[in-house]
Amino acid sequence: MPIGDVLPEISLTLGAVVIVLFAAFTRQQHHHWAAVLALLTIALCVVLTLAQWSGPPRLTFSGVWALDGVAISSKLVVLIAGALVVAMSPEWMRTDRRHGEYYALVLFALLGVIMMASASDTMELVLGVLLSSVASYPLAAYHRGWAPALEAGMKYFLIGALTNALLTIGVVVVFGLTGNTGYPEIAQGFAEGSDNLALTIATACIVLGLTFKLAAFPAHAWMPDVAQGSPAPAAAFLTVIPKVGAAVALARFMSLMPPDIAWRAIVAVISVMTMTLGNVAALRQTDVRRLLGWSSVSQSGYALMAIVVMGVSDQALTALVFFLATYVIANLAAFAVVTHLRGRTALEDYQGLARNAPIAATILIASLLSLVGIPPLIGFFGKFMLFSVTIEGGYTWLAFVAAVNTVVSLFYYLRIAASMMFSDARPVVHVLMGQWARSTMVVAGLLLVVGGLGAETLMIFTDSIRFAL
C-alpha cells in the first residue's frame, strides 16, 4: 500500500485537522486566517496531484483506489473549485462564531468528493459518498437561526439518508452476486453471468443513490432549497462540486455493466427527466438563487448524456470531464456575484444592476450565457463536446431533447440579464466589505473568457483520459 499514491488526500485530511485545532484555540477575529490555511492546503494538494499526472493509469491500495486520467483530472477540477469557494467565504462568514470550522468542513467535503471520483471499490464509493454527505449537511444549514436554512438542511439530510441507504443496498446486492467489492472482480463476475433481475435491482439502487449527489431526478428536490437557504459560498459548493465526483463515480460503475442490462436506457430516461424538470421549474422562479438551483438540476441532465454513450463513443469520458469543468466555472462565477452582492436573491433586486454595479452585472451575464453555451465563453465548448459525443454514440434523439431544453433555458437566463440591463430601476447596491469576494468574482469571470479562448488546449490536455481497470 504505497502511501505516496494518496498524498494529496492525506494533505487535505491533515489540513482540515489543523484548521479545526486553529479555530478551537484562536479568537474569532483571527478566524479568517483559517481561509488562508485552507487555500495553502488546497495548493499543496494540487501540486501533489499534478505530480501524479505523468504516471501510467493504474489501481493501487489492493485495487480499491484509481490513479487514472479521469480521477486525476476530476480531482484537479474539484480542488480548483474548492479554492474558489474558500476564497469567496471570509467576508460572508466574518460574524459567525464558527467561522474557522467552516473551512474544515469544506476540506472534508472535498475529500469525500475526491474519494467518489477515485473509488474503484464499492465500499470505497460508499465511504466517499458518506463523508461528502456528512460534511455537507452542516454547510447547508450553517445559518441555523434562519428558517429557510433549517428547511434546506433538513430536506438535504432526509433525501440523503434515503438515497444513501439505497446505495448501500445496491452495493450489498452486487457483493452477493459477485462475492467481491472491487470493480475489476465485479466486472469479471458480471461477464461470467449473474441473475439479471437481481443485477437490475442493484444497478437501479446504485444509480438512485448517486443521483442524490448529482441532484438528478428523482433525488433532486433538495437542490433549489439548498441554493436558496444555505450561505451563498456554501450554496456555490453544494450546487456544483459534489456533481463532479458523483458523475465520475456513476460513469466508472456503469462501465462494469454487461451489455444485456439496459442501463443506457435507464440513464437516458433520467437524463431527459432531469434536464426537462430543471428547466421547466426554473421558468417560474422569481428568486435568483432558487433559479440557479433549478438550473443546476438541469445541468446534471446534460452531464448524464456523456454517461449514456460511454463505451460507444471514444470521447465520452473526455466530454464528461470537460463539460463538468466548464459548468463548475460558470456556476461558481454566478454564485461569486451573488456572494459579492450580500446574497441578494429576489429578481427585482437585480433590476438596473448594470448601471450601479457594471462589473458584477457583466460577470453574472457572462456566467449565465456560459451555462447556456454561447461562444466564445467556455461553456460553449463543454456543450459542443457533449452534443458531439451524444450524436456520435447514436443517441441523436437525446441530443435533440437537450437542444430543446437549452433553448428553453435561454429564456430564464436572459430574463435575469434583461432585468439588469434594461430596467429603469436604480437599486441601492450593498456589497460585502473587503476584497476576498470581489477578487474571487473577478477571477471566476476571467476564467469564463480565458478558458473559452484556451479551450482547444484544455481539450488536448484531457483528450486521452481513460479508466484504469
Q: What is the pLDDT of residues 7-39, one digit of tens each?
A: 999 999 999 999 999 988 888 888 888 999 999
Give me the pLDDT at residue 263, please. Answer: 84
Helix and strand element counts for the chain (H, E): 20, 2
In sign, the C-alpha dihedral spanning 174, 179, 182, 186 is negative
Please tell me the distance from the alpha carbon of residue 326 to that of residue 318, in angstroms, as a whole number.
12
Rg (CA), the chain: 21
Cell 454513450 locates to 309
How would you classify the pairing of strands 58-60 and 65-67? Answer: antiparallel
* Burial track 64-93 (b if 16+ CB lie within 10 A, e otherwise): bbbbbbbbbbbbbbbbbbbbbbbbbbbbbb
Q: Which helix (H) or strand (E) holds 386?
A: helix 378-392
Residue 310 has φ and ψ, to the nearest 5°, of: -65, 130
Mean pLDDT in the chain? 89
Q: How far is CA 367 from the centre of its chain?
A: 16
For residue 123, the number of C-alpha atoms closer than 13 Å in the C-beta half-sphere is: 8
Are 131 and 110 a contacting pair, CB within 8 Å? no
Give me the pLDDT at residue 213, please. Answer: 92
Tell me which residue of 28, 136, 91 sits closest to 336, measured CA to CA.
91
Q: pTM of the entire structure?
A: 0.93
Please tell me the distance from the alpha carbon of residue 410 to that of residue 418, in angstroms, as a whole number.
12
Please tell me the distance from the alpha carbon of residue 460 to that of residue 448, in angstroms, as a whole number.
18
For residue 202, the number of C-alpha atoms closer than 13 Å in the C-beta half-sphere is: 23
Please tell me the distance from the alpha carbon of residue 118 to that of residue 348, in angstroms, as a whole number.
43
Are 310 and 251 a contacting pair, CB within 8 Å? yes
Please tell me the distance from the alpha carbon of residue 345 to that of residue 348, in angstroms, as a whole number.
9
Cell 446505495 locates to 167
Are 149 and 229 a contacting pair, CB within 8 Å? yes
Residue 334 has φ and ψ, to the nearest 5°, of: -65, -45
Residue 463 has φ and ψ, to the nearest 5°, of: -65, -35
Reading the chain (469 residues) residue by residue, the pLDDT tens digits are: 788 889 999 999 999 999 999 988 888 888 888 999 999 999 999 999 999 888 788 888 888 898 888 899 999 999 999 999 999 999 888 887 888 899 999 999 999 999 999 999 999 999 999 999 999 999 999 888 888 889 999 999 999 999 999 999 999 999 988 888 888 888 888 877 767 788 888 888 999 999 999 999 888 999 999 999 899 999 999 999 999 999 999 999 998 888 777 888 889 999 999 999 999 999 988 889 999 999 999 999 999 999 999 888 888 888 999 999 999 999 999 999 999 888 778 888 888 888 888 899 999 999 999 999 888 888 888 899 999 999 998 899 999 999 999 999 999 999 998 888 887 766 667 777 678 889 999 999 999 888 877 767 666 666 666 666 5
Are 267 and 307 a contacting pair, CB within 8 Å? yes
Tell me which residue of 269, 276, 104, 121 sits closest to 187, measured CA to CA.
121
Cell 481497470 locates to 469
Residue 147, classified by CB atoms within 10 Å of its CB into exposed (0-12), middle (13-18) or buried (19+), is exposed
| 426 φψ region: left (φ > 0), alpha (ψ -120 to 50), beta (else) | beta
Whether the bond between 218 and the residue before it is cis, its omega within 30 degrees of 0, is: yes
Please tell me the distance from the alpha carbon of residue 108 to that of residue 13, in angstroms, as a whole number.
7
- Residue count of the chain: 469
Written as nine digits, the cell of 272 is 431527459
Q: How far is CA 329 from the centre of its chain?
A: 10
